[in-house]
Amino acid sequence: MTALAAGIAMLAGLGVGIGIGIATAKAAESVGRQPEAYGRILPLFFIGAALAEAVAIYSFVIAILLVLKA
């Protein structure tokens, strides 16, 4: 049952994947519009991706805790 719970916990990856995909698409689009703003867009994109990825990492940590507890 703990393995099943770990699998359910990792379902958070669905939303995170879609979110980072949208963020990357928008970043690429804005670089295409204004290539000289690349240096400003890159840190913003990295901060956003890091904040989004934190959610996936929380679920991953919970899954690891569940699996290694058994």
Partner 1 sequence: MSEGVMKVLFTIPIGKGIPVRVAVVEMWGVMAFLIILAFYLTSNMKLVPSRKQVIAEFIVDSINKITKNFLGHYWHIFAPYLGTLFLFLLGLNLLGLIGLQPPTSNLNVTASFGVMSILILIVSTIVLKNPIGWFLSHFKPIPIVFPFKFLDYLTRILSLSARLFGNILAGVTVMELIYHGLIKAHIPPVGIPAALSLYFDIFDGVLQAVIFTFLSLIYLYEALEE
Where along the sequence are the contacts to partner 1 (CB under 8 A)? 39, 43, 46-47, 50, 53-54, 57-58, 60-61, 64, 68
Token pair recorded at residue 18: 């879609």
Cβ atoms 63, 2 nearer than 8 A = no
Residue 4, judged by CB atoms within 10 A of its CB (0-12, 13-18, 19+), counts as exposed
In angstroms, give the least distance from the CB of 15 to partner 1: 16
In angstroms, give the least distance from the CB of 43 to partner 1: 5
In angstroms, give the least distance from the CB of 32 to partner 1: 21
